[in-house]
Amino acid sequence: MFSLMANCCSWLKRWREPARKVTLVMVGLDNAGKTATVRGIQGESPLDVAPTVGFSKVDLKQGKFEVTIFDLGGGKRIRGIWKNYYSESYGVVFVVDSSDVQRIHETRDTMAEVLRHPRIAGKPVLVLANKQDRDGAMAEADIIENLSLEKLVNENKCLCQIEPCSAVLGYGKKIDKSIKNGLNWLLNNIAKDYEAITERVQRDTAEQRVQEDQDKKERAERVKRIREERDRQEREEAEKAGREIKEEESEDADMSNPFQPINHIVAENENKSKQETEMKKQGEEVVQDGKEEEEEEEEEEESERQTPESPESGPTDQTKKKMKKIRLKRKNRVDPLVTDDAAKSPTPPPAPAHAV
């Protein structure tokens, strides 16, 4: 009876425990099958997988754990970023291509570099000997021997488990049992020492942040020194050439504020509109003056045509027609010249009176 009650209490206690958050890093050479393995664990098809450029992040629920897996690219140029993820990892999944015999020594050197890192040493490691479905794949014993696995894990005090598997044979509930068993082994060993690993992760993460801040400051100082050295060289060259150097003002002083108050913009628009209306008015006045002058000239010509012509006044009218009136703009006139012929021409005699 008491044992039953104790079992119920322990079960209830485990059931009420919050899910533990665990971060894992999955590493290995390129084309080892890391992304296919992650997709199989996640429940997606592992077929037609493109090479990982950089890294990919996968979140999944595995029993009482909330697992985050960082799938890191395995190319030579990308392996340098692996160390940036070691501080927050609780364990390591190292994927090996069992069929790639030619690169087995490169795999050994890469694994040794990973396990010897101070932020990985002592953490549990799962080795997945992938691609066992291919012809010529190495057996578990051969992989252990070629990788010098026993020596590496003993030197770095890492718990290690190797699982021969094939990631493309299934996914989800039908995933290769070796992958599932290996993942359960890794999470159970993390759970046994979860508090200590969590404390170590927090400490390593804080140290890494401090180191990153220090690296940023050092880079900024290097850039500053390079700029100062370059400016000094430019000044010396300019002094040798006899040219004056204008000191560069601060960017804040040079940079004009692109955001102006709305009142200034409204005032500028009003001034522009006033200038445009004044220009239009001046243009209309000029056009109106021209029209008035043309109308006056037309009226004068019409009045001249309407005056009766007599045979006696022939020479005088002809001289008047030949005469031109000189005009200036804005109704300024010049009186016509008086010719001698017009002055000498006698006035016409009065008409004879009719007898009544």
216 is in an annotated binding site: no
Q: Tokens 């057996």 correspond to what residue?
A: 139
60 is in an annotated binding site: no
130 is in an annotated binding site: yes
Residue of 323, 322, 328, 318 whose CA lies nearest to 296: 328
Beta bridge partners of 134: none
- Phi, psi at residue 179, to the nearest 5°? -65, -45
Residue burial 201-225, b: 16+ Cβ < 10 Å; e: rest: beebeeebeeeeeeeeeeeeeeeee
341 is in an annotated binding site: no
34 is in an annotated binding site: yes
131 is in an annotated binding site: yes
35 is in an annotated binding site: yes
269 is in an annotated binding site: no
Q: Are 27 and 74 in contact (CB under 8 A)?
A: yes
184 is in an annotated binding site: no
28 is in an annotated binding site: yes
Q: Are 173 and 44 in contact (CB under 8 A)?
A: no
Which residues, at least 6 apart from 155, have a Cβ–Cβ distance to it below 8 Å? 115, 116
One-letter amino acid for residue 26 of the chain: M
107 is in an annotated binding site: no
C-alpha torsion 261→264→268→274, nearest 10: 130
Pairing outcome for strands 55-62 and 65-72: antiparallel
32 is in an annotated binding site: yes
263 is in an annotated binding site: no
Neighbour count for residue 137 (Cβ, 10 Å): 19
In the annotated binding site for GTP, the residues are 28-35, 74, 130-133
In the annotated binding site for Mg(2+), the residues are 35, 52
In the annotated binding site, the residues are 28-35, 52, 74, 130-133
